[in-house]
Amino acid sequence: MQAPDPAFPLTLYGSSISYFTGKLENYLRVKGIPYRLQALTSRRHAPRVRAMTGSTQMPAVEFADGRWMSDSTPIIQWFETTYPDPVVTPVDPLQRFFSLLLEDYADEWLWRPAMHYRWYYEEGARFASCHLANEVGDGIPVPAFLKRWSITRRQRHGYTAGDGIVPAQVPGVEAIYRRNLQHLQAIFATRPFLLGAKPSLADIGFSGPIFRHFALDPVPAEIMRQQAPAVYEWAARLWNTRLEGHPGSLLSGIPGDWGPILDEIGTHYLPYLCANVEAVAAGHKRFDVEIGGVQYRGARWSRYRVWCLQQLRKHYTALPATEQEAAQSLLRRHGCWEPLWRHPELPIGPDVCSRLPFRVDEKMIDIYS
């Protein structure tokens, strides 16, 4: 394994087409933190990454001093606390809470249409499997066509057909993407970033699905270019923006045009999180659920997403009283309040994931294998 480059404080292990690697790269770039991207190859790097973080998921960060981190959301929170300047997470408590909500939604719900477009269509699967076979599969002594075949098969079994997307429901899953494009197009047609004239945490959250999936994979990228060019432009703008010395400022409050996204969270994402809580509580690794008219069959449980819901509640509870009131009223208006609290008890221990971002709680990660 290559030693960390002393010119860079960080080595980022991941893939140049990975959702969460792209999200963290956007964060590090906006923040002005230099890093070196190292392909996390299954053969040469994965064993060490697992030993040092508890998981092989990407991205993983290695500091020159030997510390390691995993999981983009707590990694970003750690950087924001340890190196607050320039700040990416809004300082205003209400904006911070709703930005964390949007980040979680982009991480965990837009993941589904993003994986769908990449692996369902031959065009997407050919591009991504060729890329990953060379990048992540480098050094594995099997023919390239076999690597491509096994990567495609694994991803479809783990994240598309094998995660509840039956063929009849494909239009419903694609509609999630198209609606989100419309919501975002309306925003970026009027200002450069989600919360005003400079990037903030919500932009970083949306960069996960958009930068390395929707704006890159052949099928969704063409839809974006045709139907939401302002979103396409935003993805490049974010990549090219540094906060240091940036003259832009944030709007105050929660912009009204976030409303349609909050509606999606209230009618789709949070009801899905509730169904996932029920599955985990019942010990069902697979569950059927209807969300917004889309019937998912045999979706995989995710213990990690129970933790995500627990985190959202913690962020709400940590708000000062007046902000709690304002947040509650906005959450109610968009159908988010009831599902946020529907299940008073979550099937999760209080100390789960408490060592993040330095150590992943292995029992919470349901990586498909």
Ligand X SMILES: N[C@@H](CCC(=O)N[C@@H](CS)C(=O)NCC(=O)O)C(=O)O
Q: Which token pair is 161?
A: 């057909």
Q: How far is the CB of 195 from ligand X (least distance, A)?
A: 21
* CB closer to ligand X out of 278 and 366: 366
* CB closer to ligand X out of 118 and 183: 118
Q: Answer for the pair 231, 194: CB distance below 8 angstroms, yes or no.
A: no
* CB closer to ligand X out of 20 and 68: 20
Treating both helix axes as pointing N-terminal to C-terminal, what angle do 201-209 and 93-108 enclose, rounded to 10 degrees? 10
* CB closer to ligand X out of 60 and 250: 60
Which residues are CB-neighbours of 91 under 8 A, at least 6 positions away? none
Q: Answer for the pair 357, 27: CB distance below 8 angstroms, yes or no.
A: no
Q: How far is the CB of 352 from ligand X (least distance, A)?
A: 14
* CB closer to ligand X out of 47 and 293: 47
Q: How far is the CB of 330 from ligand X (least distance, A)?
A: 25
Q: How far is the CB of 132 from ligand X (least distance, A)?
A: 10
* CB closer to ligand X out of 62 and 107: 107
SS3 69: strand
Q: How far is the CB of 171 from ligand X (least distance, A)?
A: 25
Q: Answer for the pair 227, 220: CB distance below 8 angstroms, yes or no.
A: no
Q: What is the CA radius of gyration of the chain?
A: 20
Q: How far is the CB of 83 from ligand X (least distance, A)?
A: 19
Q: How far is the CB of 338 from ligand X (least distance, A)?
A: 26
* CB closer to ligand X out of 27 and 316: 27
Neighbours of 81 (CB within 10 A): 9
- Per the DSSP assignment, residues forming a β-bridge with 300 are 286
**Helix (H) or strand (E) segment spanning residue 11:** strand 10-14
Q: How far is the CB of 259 from ligand X (least distance, A)?
A: 26
Cα distance between the two ends of the chain: 24
**Residue written as token pair 């509870």:** 317
How far apart are the C-alpha atoms of 264 and 206, rounded to whole Å?
Answer: 14
Which residues are CB-neighbours of 268 under 8 A, at least 6 positions away? 109, 176, 291, 292
Binding stretches for ligand X (CB under 6 A): 18-20, 57-58, 71-73, 107, 367
Which residues are CB-neighbours of 35 under 8 A, at least 6 positions away? 8, 9, 10, 11, 12, 25, 28, 61
Q: What single string gives the DSSP state of each residue in 20-39?
A: HHHHHHHHHHHHT--EEEEE
Q: How far is the CB of 95 from ligand X (least distance, A)?
A: 21
* CB closer to ligand X out of 20 and 119: 20
Give which of 33, 13, 29 is closest to 21, Cα–Cα.
13
Preceding peptide of 141 cis, ω within 30°? no
* CB closer to ligand X out of 154 and 342: 154
